[in-house]
Amino acid sequence: MNELLEARVLVAYGSHGVVQVGDGEPQPCLFRRKVGRPCCGDRVLIRRADEQSYVVEEIIARRNQFMRADQRGRPQVIAANLDRVLVVMASEPLPSRDLLDRYLVAVHSLELEPVIVWNKAELPVACGEPGAQSLARLEEYAELGYAVARTSCKEAPGADALWPLVEGHTSVLVGQSGVGKSSLIRALLPDLDIQTGALSRVTGKGTHTTTTTMLYQLPGGGRLMDSPGVWEYGLWKLDDEALVGGFPEFGTFAGQCRFHNCRHLSEPGCAIKAAVQSGEIKAWRYQSYQRLMAQNDS
């Protein structure tokens, strides 16, 4: 009478975490090294270990995984089995110049839909800073086809603009520390205290600073994960193709370059550079591509 159950990982620490079977109560669970390292969003097969807890027997193959570089530059999985990644930005703290585009490259490389969230939208934006430009250009990102939502957890316009973007999907909020990811979760989820209470009861950890990714259920269906903030979103080396993939509007031109392995930097007969010249590709997007390529090469 100790059958395997399918469960979802709500939060994962090194050797233990919290899982949920269906809509049931969150349950403490042990992770054994030999099954690999479960992460938030994983589907797992579990078995009862004892009265108090379960143990993971198997991690079901991930559909995808969102990663970032840890302090030593090694890739670290922060969430699995996603439909969308919500990149949260704010005027406080301002992003570094390339932060948004780095995130977009990473999201596109998973073939996931990025959503750009401008939180703290009620605050003024300091002009002149390079990072402020990403906020100033959000209209242009929207013209490029990105979903952009303006939110505030303090005043109008509130966080309701996120509902149609997250409902029915599995999404993760990512972005710099302090931009308001956890505040957005709180604004969206009236029963957050119940959900986090259930999580912290089993983990014994407080919920004020986000130190690890946590999964929450949305009332109308769907799941939303809150991830710990970063200061700089490190991209490990990507191949050139993955980097171009972060600039979807380059796609229609990329096949027309003289050289099939064109990197769109200084090669002759580059169709992308021609499109920049003719204004079909925005110059600032191309400059951003050049910077990311240079960082990739360094």
Ligand X SMILES: Nc1nc2c(ncn2[C@@H]2O[C@H](COP(=O)(O)OP(=O)(O)OP(=O)(O)O)[C@@H](O)[C@H]2O)c(=O)[nH]1
Q: Is 176 in the site for Mg ion (CB under 5 A)?
A: no
The token pair at 153 is: 């957890």
Count of residues engaged in binding ligand X, rule: CB under 6 A = 18
Q: Applying CB under 6 A, which part among 50-58, 181-189, 215-223, 288-296 lies near ligand X?
A: 181-189
User: Which CB atom, from 182 or from 195, has the smaller least distance to Mg ion?
Assistant: 182
Applying CB under 6 A, among 91, 109, 134, 152 the residue interacting with ligand X is 152
Q: Which of residues 234-263 bind ligand X (CB under 6 A)?
A: none
91's contact among ligand X, Zn ion, Mg ion, none, with CB below 5 to 8 A by partner kind, is none
Q: Is 210 in the site for ligand X (CB under 6 A)?
A: yes
Query: 9, 18 in Cβ contact below 8 A?
Result: yes
Query: 59, 145 in Cβ contact below 8 A?
Result: no
CA–CA distance, 123 with 147 (Å, rounded to integer)? 21
Q: Is 84 in the site for Zn ion (CB under 5 A)?
A: no
A 10 A CB-CB count for 166 gives 22
User: Which CB atom, from 46 or from 162, has the smaller least distance to ligand X?
Assistant: 162
Query: 197, 18 in Cβ contact below 8 A?
Result: no
183's contact among ligand X, Zn ion, Mg ion, none, with CB below 5 to 8 A by partner kind, is ligand X
Q: What is the CA radius of gyration of the chain?
A: 21
Q: Is 210 in the site for Mg ion (CB under 5 A)?
A: yes
Q: Is 182 in the site for Mg ion (CB under 5 A)?
A: yes
Amino acid found at 197: G
262's contact among ligand X, Zn ion, Mg ion, none, with CB below 5 to 8 A by partner kind, is Zn ion
Give me the 108-127 binding string for ligand X, x by CB under 6 A, dash otherwise.
-----------xx-xx----
Q: Is 281 in the site for Zn ion (CB under 5 A)?
A: no
Count of residues engaged in binding Zn ion, rule: CB under 5 A = 5
Give me the least distance between CB of 46 and ligand X, in Å please.
28
Q: Which of residues 239-278 bind Zn ion (CB under 5 A)?
A: 257, 262, 264, 270, 272
Q: Which of residues 49-108 bind ligand X (CB under 6 A)?
A: none
Give me the least distance between CB of 261 and Zn ion, in Å please.
9
264's contact among Zn ion, ligand X, Mg ion, none, with CB below 5 to 8 A by partner kind, is Zn ion
The token pair at 272 is: 């992308």
Give the interface with Mg ion as residue ranges (CB under 5 A): 181-182, 210
Give the interface with ligand X as residue ranges (CB under 6 A): 119-120, 122-123, 152-154, 177-183, 209-210, 228-229
